[in-house]
Amino acid sequence: MTDSIEIPIGGRAAGCPFAPVPELYEAQKDEELRRVTVPSPMLGAFDAVVVTRYEDVKNVLADDRLRMGGSMPYQAGNLLSYDGPEHTRLRRMLTASFTARRAREQRPQIEEVVTAALDEVEKAGPGADLVQLFCTPIPTLVICELLGVPYADREEFQRRTAIALDFSNSREVQMEKAAEMEAYMAGLVAGHREEPGDNVLGRVVREYGDQLTDSELAGIGNMLLIAGHETIANTLASSIALLLQHPDQLAVVRDEPEAVDGAVEELLRYVVPATILPRQASGDIPVRDQEIKEGERVVASVLAANRDLGASGEDLDRLDVRRPVQRHLTFGFGPHQCLGQQLARMELRVALPALFNRFPELRLAVAPEELDYRTNALVFGVNALPVTW
Amino acid sequence: MKVEVDESRCLAVGNCALIAPEVFDQGDDDGTVVVLDAAPPEHTHETVRAAALRCPASVITLHDDTTPPHGA
């Protein structure tokens, strides 16, 4: 076993926020699996096997002996709190609402939300912060549709969500808003119990309401909110930040509609909002000629795996929105693979070209090196994105 | 090429329906895989193979006359 080295939670290189730390590349080259110490704000520092090769990450994540193992705080109804048959049962209640076809049907709704956000950016004028006016409202409003949040409540819902999920706020302020959010979610669930709406939460109540408690239903609502909000807001923001620094590639997204789907996959591969996936082995798991031992914690580095050359021979450290679609593990793999990924793709496919077409001369209002990236957060992003046009 | 799926292990992620929509769809009840064309035409073979490789539960098996089967 290699001596334990410390790898920052995000595993991102200082001064080069989109790239993995050198230690992750070294671990990837090493035939021997490495054990590392990961400082985690949620779990305290913990020791873990770090998995960095594409094939290893894929195989390990697909192995049913790999469990969430209390990697996240327990919440009834949240899929990340379950494993095995319990997880499958709960997930199956939700999957019909997140199919590729359903995402296509949601396109007009997403276009409306995106147009409204663009109007706000235009109203604010040059200097506008895209994180606040574009990247955050889009997923929040899409989630409002999924949960059935009434129009009258949406402004307050957006404000509350933004504060509760903004980790730069004090823990006290965050907790206060989180409690308000929970109370609001309980109210939504009660409303759906009485009259199930025509949306995801309403459908779950209508079809499975007798099998779920109110707190499980509220937990499902909270999961949809948190999982669908922070990840997409941050992927949008970091994708825009990246493209503004690669104007030739931005032009492809802006001017070539047929290139957008491929460009979104490349951005997903490169940006990686959920940088690492923390898990635990509930049995011995073979990895090539080695073993992750029962009870060991595991950290799968999606950031490193997405740049693993494998047999492709491509330079995967470079962003290239025109490259043939590359495999990536940004949505994870195996039983916990992102439930909302087709919806996420659709939001990105609509939002990015719409932004660059509304503002063809869009550019950063600050020097690129002044951008404040969230390299140490569990979800990678950029705190503010002031732009001009 | 013949397409075979194991619906019981399907995770309903929808990658197959995204990559090869002419061959795969997802059911209305729980989003699990539905094969639209179990003997898809030649010009779809490449995308069908990509769909099988991207399946997070490896439930798509391809029986191919010309190349060895994928899906493991």
Portion of chain A with pLDDT greater than 90, in percent: 65
Identify the helix (H) or strand (E) that includes residue A133. Answer: none
Q: Identify the band that residue A265 occupies on the pLDDT scale cut at 50, 70 and 90.
A: very high
E strand spans, A237-296: 276-281, 285-287, 290-292
- Best A94, A95, A269 member to test B by mutation, with max B CBs in 10 Å, is A95
User: Which chain B residues are closer than 8 Å to A335 by Cβ?
Assistant: 11, 56-57
> Which of these ranges, A192-196, A308-312, A367-371, B57-61, has the smallest mean pLDDT?
A308-312
Using a CB–CB cutoff of 8 Å, tell me whether A116 touches chain B. Answer: no
Using a CB–CB cutoff of 8 Å, tell me whether B8 touches chain A. Answer: no
Nearest CB to A342: which of B14, B32, B57?
A: B14
Q: Tell me the average pLDDT across A119-129.
A: 97
Which structure tokens are listed for A148? 């059935």
Q: Is A99 in contact with B29 (Cβ distance < 8 A)?
A: no
Structure confidence at residue A97 (pLDDT):
92
Q: Is B31 in contact with A95 (Cβ distance < 8 A)?
A: yes
Give residues with Cβ within 8 angstroms of A283, minimum separation 6: A65, A294
Question: Is the C-alpha dihedral spanning A183, A187, A193, A199 positive or negative?
Answer: negative
Structure confidence at residue A74 (pLDDT):
81
Using the 8-state DSSP alphabet, how is residue A275 labeled? -
Instruction: Answer yes or no: is pLDDT of A1 > 50.
Output: no
> Which of these ranges, A173-187, A208-222, A283-297, has the smallest mean pLDDT?
A173-187
Using a CB–CB cutoff of 8 Å, tell me whether B34 touches chain A. Answer: no
| R_g of chain A, CA atoms, integer Å | 21
- Best B7, B8, B13 member to test A by mutation, with max A CBs in 10 Å, is B13
Q: Is B12 in contact with A95 (Cβ distance < 8 A)?
A: yes
- Nearest-Cα distance to chain A for B60, in Å, is 14
> Please, what is the Cα angle at A270 between A268 and A271, to 5 degrees?
70
Question: Is the C-alpha dihedral spanning A157, A149, A93, A336 positive or negative?
Answer: negative
**Residue-wise pLDDT tens digits, B21-64:** 999 999 988 889 999 999 999 999 999 999 998 888 889 999 98
d(CA A245, CA A114): 22
The structural domains of chain A, ordered by start, are: 5-388 (1.10.630.10)
Count of Cβ atoms closer than 10 Å to residue A225 Cβ: 23
User: Which chain A residues are closer than 8 Å to B52 by Cβ?
Assistant: none
Give residues with Cβ within 8 angstroms of A47, minimum separation 6: A4, A35, A36, A37, A38, A297
Give chain A's mean pLDDT.
90
**Residue-wise pLDDT tens digits, A27-39:** 999 999 999 888 7
Structure ipTM over 0.90, yes or no = no
Q: State the architecture of B2-63 in CATH terms.
A: 2-Layer Sandwich (3.30)
Using a CB–CB cutoff of 8 Å, tell me whether A98 touches chain B. Answer: yes
How far the first Cα of chain B sits from its last, in Å, is: 16
The residues with which A300 forms a beta bridge, in sequence order, are A51, A277
- Best B18, B22, B36, B60 member to test A by mutation, with max A CBs in 10 Å, is B18
**Residue-wise pLDDT tens digits, A276-310:** 888 999 999 999 999 999 999 999 999 999 999 77
Contact in structure between A275 and A25 (CB atoms under 8 Å):
no
Q: Identify the band that residue B67 occupies on the pLDDT scale cut at 50, 70 and 90.
A: low
Q: Identify the band that residue A2 occupies on the pLDDT scale cut at 50, 70 and 90.
A: very low
Structure confidence at residue B66 (pLDDT):
58
d(CA A276, CA A290): 21
Using a CB–CB cutoff of 8 Å, tell me whether A206 touches chain B. Answer: no
Q: Is B57 in contact with A334 (Cβ distance < 8 A)?
A: yes
User: Which chain A residues are closer than 8 Å to B54 by Cβ?
Assistant: 327
Closest chain B residue to A327, measured at CA: B54
Structure confidence at residue A6 (pLDDT):
76
Q: Is A95 in contact with B18 (Cβ distance < 8 A)?
A: no
Phi-psi region of A125 (alpha: psi -120 to 50; beta: other; left: phi over 0): left
Q: Is A101 in contact with B25 (Cβ distance < 8 A)?
A: yes
> Which of these ranges, A54-63, A174-183, B3-12, B48-57, has the smallest mean pLDDT?
A174-183
Q: Is A99 in contact with B31 (Cβ distance < 8 A)?
A: yes
Q: Tell me the average pLDDT across A195-223.
A: 94
> Please, what is the Cα angle at B56 between B17 and A49, to 5 degrees?
155
Phi-psi region of A158 (alpha: psi -120 to 50; beta: other; left: phi over 0): alpha
